[in-house]
Amino acid sequence: MAELNNPVTTEAAPTAADEPAPASVAPEGRWVIRFQRRERLLHITLMASFLTLALTGIPLLFPEAPWATKLANLLGGYGVTGKLHRMAAVTLVACFLIHVARLIERVFLKREYSLLWGPDSMVPQPRDIL
């Protein structure tokens, strides 16, 4: 592997038996990419829409507060704040629906059951209780 300046790799170090190591094990000084680019982009979009909802929702919820009026004016007035809030809400719901559709595709169509119960699953397992 010729990676001179890029410390990020999608391959793990081989074990003693020359088999690939699990995705959660990384060789010294390297990173293992666990999520695909579109999953990371979806997560960033989800966070941005949530923060936008919080930032625009507070002045809409408390319009009589002096700080709320200043914040709404900073965002372009209450009309713009309301539109931003609705756009962020639609974005958040779209992120959720895309995530659920992707899960349905991977689990039911591609039969990637390890997403739910495999060793690298993000779903809490019985061993997590102990």
- The domain in which residue 75 lies consists of 35-113
Whole-number pLDDT of residue 24: 56
| Rounded Cα gap, residues 96 and 101, in angstroms | 9
> Tell me: the pLDDT tens digits for 97-110?
999 999 999 999 99
Token reading at 19? 């088999």
Average pLDDT of span 71-87:
97
pLDDT band at 86 (very low <50, low <70, confident <90, very high): very high
* Residue 90 shares a structural domain with residue 101: yes
| Rounded Cα gap, residues 36 and 31, in angstroms | 14
* Residue 105 shares a structural domain with residue 65: yes
* Residue 66 shares a structural domain with residue 25: no
Whole-number pLDDT of residue 63: 94
* Residue 77 shares a structural domain with residue 53: yes
Are 21 and 13 contacting, i.e. CB atoms less than 8 angstroms apart?
Answer: yes
Instruction: Tell me how many domains the chain contains.
Output: 2
DSSP 8: E
* Residue 80 shares a structural domain with residue 25: no
